[in-house]
Amino acid sequence: MRTKTFLFALCLLILTSCSLFDTGGVPKLSIPNLNESGDGNQTFLGFIVDDSLFFVCQQKMVAYGGGPLSGYTWSVSNLSSLPVGTTFDPLTGIFKAQGGQIMEGSHEFEMTVSDGSRTASATFVFEVESYSVTSPFPIFQQPLGVDEIDLPEAHSDFDYGADLQAFGDGPLPWSWYLDTGELPPGMVIDQSTGTVRGKPMADAVGNTYSFTVKVVGDDGVSAYSDGLTYNIFVSE
């Protein structure tokens, strides 16, 4: 049974080192924590329905910083491996089912993200439990129960990158669009990757830009949203 009241508890962004700069003034590339205490890993969900039916919640991996030309590129880190029954799209960063059996329990693995010239790595967690009638299969949705997400600060005349969030059973590929509000001048949302990118113009300095997005599955159905707003502040 599916429910629109499913709340993914790990979707509140806690910024860590994203305001730091690499050589050349580009914000440092990082993989942020996604929980309320800021000390946890990005976590994916899986359910075992029975011996022959398994469900992996599709979810976009999130990176911040660097200067991606379109989106980030993802790979499994050296000496690590994906949990059984899972895979991912290296260009969109969407974690998904490979097909076949998944194993109950908590499974850690390490991923590396690149913006084309820099890399960052972090541990991810795949949590698998047996399905029961109280287990919510997450429908296609943006994070629920969070009014606003403050994306990393942008800086005038420097490249910028930040991933947006969605997860659930929407058929792939997903497409991302600006819905309401506006982005800083000089920045766009990459339609195929869900990455905000670009170089904010000088006249954006000192302003906060707020916007909502629409995420559309391959069947034309939009991800459910209860009004999540993203904010980007632009400084010098």
**CATH code for position 87:** 2.60.40.60
Number of neighbours of residue 103 by Cβ within 10 angstroms: 13
Mean pLDDT of all residues in 169-183: 98
β-bridge mates for residue 209, sequence order? 232
Number of neighbours of residue 37 by Cβ within 10 angstroms: 8
The model's confidence at residue 12, banded by pLDDT at 50, 70 and 90, is very low
Residue that has been written with the tokens 């990158």 in this structure:
161
For residue 25, the model assigns a pLDDT of: 58
Q: What is the spatial distance between Cα 72 and Cα 93, in angstroms, rounded to a whole number?
A: 8
Look at the chain and report how many structural domains it folds into.
Answer: 1
Note the pLDDT tens digit of each residue in 52-89. 899 999 999 999 999 999 899 999 999 999 999 999 99
User: The whole model's pTM is what?
Assistant: 0.88
Residue-number span of the structural domain to which 192 is assigned = 2-235
For residue 15, the model assigns a pLDDT of: 39
The model's confidence at residue 142, banded by pLDDT at 50, 70 and 90, is very high
For residue 34, the model assigns a pLDDT of: 78
Quick check: 200 and 184 in contact, CB under 8 A? yes
**Which residues have CB under 8 Å from 64's CB, separation 6+?**
15, 18, 27, 29, 30, 31, 32, 151, 152, 161, 162, 163
Residue 14 in 3-state DSSP?
A: strand
Quick check: 102 and 87 in contact, CB under 8 A? no
